[in-house]
Amino acid sequence: MVKHLTQHGNSAALIIDKPILELLKITIKTPLEVTTDGRNLILSPVQSGKREKLFRSALAAVNREHGKTLKALAK
């Protein structure tokens, strides 16, 4: 899909089609993080603090349980 930017005051806007918003579970009120890898523009829904906390907790549990094995595999 090729998209073009639209003039919005002194800025440029990108219109995201409804099927894409629905696929990504994004609404007009969803905060988006805008980042780049130096070549591409990356839009990501901002993760809630609760989800981040659960992820960090799971990561810590995996590291406690399998940390030595993962370090050995990395060598």
Intra-chain end-to-end CA distance of the chain, in Å: 42
CB 34 within 8 A of CB 41: yes
Q: Which CATH number does 6-74 carry?
A: 2.10.260
Judging by DSSP bridges, how do beta strands 41-45 and 32-36 pair with one another?
A: antiparallel
pLDDT at 58: 92
Stretches in the chain below the pLDDT threshold 70: none
pLDDT of residue 35: 93
Among 38, 32, 35, CA closest to 20: 32
For position 23, what pLDDT does the model report? 93
Query: What is the value of pTM for the model shown?
Result: 0.53
Q: What is the pLDDT of residue 7?
A: 96
Q: According to the model, what pLDDT value does residue 21 have?
A: 93
